[in-house]
Amino acid sequence: MEGRRVLLYSIVLTSLLAVAGPSLADPGVDAGGPYGGPDTYEGSSIGFYATTDNQTNWLWRWDFQNDGIWDTTWDISATMSYAIERYYCDDYHGHIAVEAWDGFSTKTVIINGEPVLVPDSEKDTARVDVFNALPILDPGGPYLGSPGVPITFRAVGRDPGCDDLTFIWLWGDGDSDLKTYEWTHFQVEVVDEREHTYAEEGTYTVTLFLLDDDGGYVEASFNILIRSGVDDIDDMIDYTEGLPIPGGIRKGLVAQLNAARGCLVRFHEQPAVRILGAFVHRVEVLERRGTLTEEQSDFMTASAHDIVWKIG
């Protein structure tokens, strides 16, 4: 239906331009506005509302960037007003233009020295301000690791509009990384995954910046603990989860190990030592009951003691 209507308007316009006519159009068009403002950000839709002071059936078209290129074809309204909505993917500060025409009035203009008939229409502009929205960042974590062992960092960024996003990692040991992701129509969020290796033990402050291509940015900082033996807890968890013992007992042991790991992430060393001590006691009880074999018990207790020794 829309295609046929546009074709009909084109035929009518072509026919009307073939003959001269008096200047009859005086719509007194008003583009309304101003639109947007400090509380309107990219990723938003704006409703435009134009009016005339002349009662007739008017044809309307819109130029949403006021660059002389019409973004809509002629559309008809049986009233003295016309409303339309526009989605702004990116920030914009400028004007829109609207043109109203009665559909038959023409005027003569000189183009390249020759008289040419054009619609006798009226245009008006209005101010539009759509502001940049800051990107949204989830740095992931918590992270911890051991010297010389690569750690995988996974951050997620999202832009409310359609900006390119740049991740800048400052690792806290003097190294840094940067990567830019171009926006695509299918992009909902950007996952930035990379590895970094720390050479020595210690607590490092990692700072992550997420920048959009309009100059907006957010940042996140967090500490990462690098200590020998921390990854051993993950190995113990994997080992315990694979034991052929009753599920409830296995889950209890894994819960203790996860609790010790959580304490280390938050730099609560002594609570982690106490939890690992309770874990060893429970393993010894399970061995006496026959739930765990001597080999399984020896491995788990030796691993827990080794982690406690590395914690210091």
The whole-number average pLDDT for the span 287-291 is: 93
- Given a cut of 50, whether residue 195 has pLDDT beyond it is yes
pLDDT at residue 85, rounded to an integer: 95
Q: Scan for tokens 């006519």, then name that residue.
A: 21
Q: Scan for tokens 């050479």, then name that residue.
A: 199
pLDDT at residue 167, rounded to an integer: 98
Q: Is 251 helix (H, G, I), strand (E, B) or coil?
A: helix
Take residue 86 and report the two structure tokens written for it.
């526009």
pLDDT at residue 218, rounded to an integer: 97
Q: How confident is the model at residue 255 (pLDDT cuts 50, 70, 90)?
A: very high
- The three-state DSSP-derived secondary structure of 6-60 is HHHHHHHHHHHCCCCCCCCCCCCCECCCCEEEEEEECCEEEEEEEECCCCCCEEE
pLDDT at residue 112, rounded to an integer: 86
pLDDT at residue 54, rounded to an integer: 78
C-alpha neighbours within 13 Å on the C-beta side of residue 286: 25
Worst-scoring range by mean pLDDT, 12-16, 112-116, 131-135, 179-183? 12-16
The whole-number average pLDDT for the span 185-203 is: 88
- Asked if 157 contacts 136 with a C-beta cutoff of 8 angstroms, the reply is yes
Q: How confident is the model at residue 42 (pLDDT cuts 50, 70, 90)?
A: very high
Assigned CATH for 2-131: 2.60.40.10
Worst-scoring range by mean pLDDT, 2-6, 80-84, 130-134? 2-6
Domains 2-131 and 136-226 alike in fold: yes
- Asked if 42 contacts 133 with a C-beta cutoff of 8 angstroms, the reply is yes
- Tell me which range, 25-39, 44-58, 202-216, is most confidently predicted by mean pLDDT: 202-216
The whole-number average pLDDT for the span 165-171 is: 97
How do the domains of the chain map onto residue ranges?
2-131, 136-226, 230-311
Backbone angles phi, psi at 293, to 5 degrees: -75, 165
Assigned CATH topology for domain 136-226: Immunoglobulin-like (2.60.40)
Backbone angles phi, psi at 135, to 5 degrees: -70, 165
Q: What is the pLDDT of residues 262-285, one digit of tens each?
A: 887 776 788 888 999 999 999 999
CA distances from 80 to 34, 58, 102, 123, 148 (A): 19, 7, 11, 15, 73
